[in-house]
Structure 1
Amino acid sequence: MPELPEVETVRRGLSPHLEGNRIEKIEIRRPDLRFPFPPDIVGELTGQIIREVDRRGKYLLFRMENNSILLNSLGMSGRWTLTGGKVSFTPGTFAHGAAIGTGDGPHDHLVIDFHNGLRATYTDARRFGYIHLIKSGISEDEDRFLRVLGPEPLEPNFDATILAQNLRNRNSPIKNTLLDQSVVVGLGNIYVNEVLNRSGVSPRRISSSLVKKNGKPGTQLELIVDQIREVLSEAIDAGGSTLQDFRGVSGDDDLGWFPVNFRVYGREGEVCLKPGCSGVVRRIVQSNRSTFYCARCQR
């Protein structure tokens, strides 16, 4: 499932082509996504200009000039394909994706045509993604999907003090807590495994134990925040890790290679790649998800 770096990669691929572009026509080709399409999506967005392609956590946000927002969760296999005009590429093809969408494919759900001849098609083979509309006049703090989200980990104001406030009363394992999108957004199973390994923290560690009695962050929690930033930034630069064949606007096809940097994820029984450690990567299950860690260097 795409995490923050993959969604950010898609956002960067879409924004140069969609921002400033006027929507001429919207068609719902298949309505059977995870949630029903908003009934007034066509009337609300036809004729609107996309002011900005934004991201909040794992959501894509298409901000319109009338201040309405088209929210998209890519789910497990969602993708956008741009065709027509002067482009024809898919800014991010996920591992479970279907054939490139033209608007007429069996898994093409939403087609948006623009005034300059460009077409954006949302394709979702597994149908776990969804499209949501936030109407003009509705605050993001009032929206059911956005109001529950925690801080953005790459924003300048995110630090160990903020994370400590969210952890001080948590008795769940730190691995599970970091996956909670109300604690910090954008982190999924892949990157949490890597962050904890680089920080030297066991995924079984109780979250509140990383916070001092005075409520301030402990040294290891500060390391976790540093590694969250570093791992996510590295993954974004690499084009993410769950991308199958990302092709950039310039035709670059060397993105989506962060897996080569995995130290523990998916490496059960292999030697831990953390510098100075020769431990063996173990796999356990936490909350029905695979956790990979090194018992030697993660405490």
Structure 2
Amino acid sequence: MPELPEVETTRRGIAPYCEGQTIARVRVRNGRLRWPVPEDIAAQMEGQIIRTVDRRAKYLFLNLDHGTAIIHLGMSGSLRIITDNTPAVTHDHIDLTLNSGVILRFNDPRRFGCWLWSDSAATHPLIASLGPEPLSPEFSGRMLFRLSRSKNTPVKSFIMDSHVVVGVGNIYANEALFKAGIHPRRKTGRISLDRYQRLAEAIRETLSAAILMGGTTLRDFVNSDGKPGYFAQSLLVYGRAGEPCTECETPLKEIRMSGRSTVYCTRCQR
């Protein structure tokens, strides 16, 4: 599933081709996504200029003069830029043709993504209750500490809650907890302010590094599959169960939490 770094890489890949361009045509081949694509989305978007391409959590916004298209890539979706009239194939559900001739094409084999329309994206039900961005000034260890006082959930579940902070998916939660030296099952209310400050910094560091590495895939958004690579080559714990810890060489342990793989070091994480 595309996580925040992959979605941010997508935003950076498509923005230079879309911003400032007028939408000449919207073609919806299959509107049966996670939620039905609004029947009037073409009428809403055609003739308008894409002013900015923004991201909130794992949602992408195409901000027009009057309204915003809200896009989510779901489990398998991708956006790519088509410059050579490559014909659409199976699972290419939506095309935005711009006045430059460029096509922004949405592909989603599993159809768990979405294309929605909103007059005010910030107040849309999917967006309004989201927590702060992890790379924003609003996110901090002190904020995590304050919110944790009334909770007794495992810290991994806590930081993956999008009402607490957005974009900390399973891969990056594993990595950040390892860097902060915190056991994924430790109860949120039993973690000190100092340790939350270390965790907040580890989250920022992990996501920033993943975004930077994703930048090397920007060229792939033109006439390609539009899918940035994951952070695999730099993972410290995720996917490495049974391998030695990079810090102490203890074999890493894997457990399941809420149905998700969770890998940690029994010695380094307390």
TM-score (norm 1): 0.84
Q: Name the CA distance, whole Å, in 1 between partners of 2:221 and 2:147.
A: 39
What's the CA shift for 1:38? 1.4
Alignment of 1:102-117 (within 5 A): 102=86, 104-117=88-101
Q: Which residue of 2 aligns with 1:52?
A: 52
For residues 72-87 of structure 1, the aligned pairs below 5 Å read: 72-84=71-83
Aligned to 2:62: 62
Report how many residues are paired.
267
The TM-score, its normalising length taken from structure 2, stands at 0.93
User: What is the percent sequence identity of the aligned residues?
Assistant: 41
CA distance in 2, matches of 1:267, 1:239: 21
CA contact (8 A) 2:26 2:96 kept: yes
Q: Give distance in 2, aligned partners of 1:183 and 1:196.
A: 16
**Equivalent in 145, 162, 167 of residue 164 of structure 1:** 145
Q: How many Å separate the matches in 2 of 1:139 and 1:259? A: 33
SS of 1:247's equivalent in the other structure is: helix
- For residues 59 and 198 of structure 1, the distance between their equivalents in structure 2, rounded to whole angstroms, comes to 27
Contact 1:22 1:48 in 2 (8 A): yes
Whether 1:258 aligns to 2:235 is no
Q: Which runs of 4+ in 1 moved over 6 A?
A: none
Does structure 1 conserve the Cα–Cα contact (< 8 Å) formed by 2:69 and 2:115? Answer: yes
* Paired position in structure 2 for 1:288: 259
1:131 equivalent in alignment to 2:147: no
Tell whether the 8 Å contact from 2:71 to 2:114 is kept in structure 1 after alignment: yes
Q: What CA distance in whole angstroms lies between the structure 2 residues aligned with 1:17 and 1:83?
A: 10
Q: Which residue of 2 aligns with 1:238?
A: 213
Structure with the larger helix share:
2
Aligned to 1:91: none
From 267, 271, 293, the equivalent of 2:244 is: 271
Aligned partners of 2:252 and 2:266 also within 8 Å: yes
Name the SS for the 1:161 alignment partner. Answer: helix
Q: Of 171, 174, 178, which aligns to 1:193?
A: 174
| Cα shift at 1:102 | 4.4
Report deviation, 1:127: 0.9
Instruction: Note the alpha carbon deviations across 1:77-124, whole angstroms, 9 max, x for none.
Output: 11112113xxx6xxxxxxxxxxxx946211011111111111111000
Q: Which residue is equivalent to 1:297?
A: 268
One of 187, 194, 197 as aligned partner of 1:222: 197
Query: Is 1:247 aligned with 2:219?
Result: yes
Aligned twin of 1:96? none
Q: Deviations over 1:221-250 (max 9, x none)?
A: 11000001100010001108xx9x763579
Which one is further off, 262-271 or 75-84? 75-84
Match of 2:22 in 1: 22
Q: How far apart are 1:258 and its partner, in Å?
A: 2.5
For structure 2, the 5+ residue unaligned runs are: none
1:23-62, Cα deviation, whole Å (9 max, x unpaired): 0110110122111001221111111100000000111111
Amino acid across the alignment from 1:283 = E
Unaligned runs of 5+ in 1: 89-100, 212-217
- Conserved? CA contact 1:103–1:121, under 8 Å: no
Q: Which residue of 2 aligns with 1:92?
A: none
Q: Distance in 2 between matches of 1:32 and 1:69?
A: 20
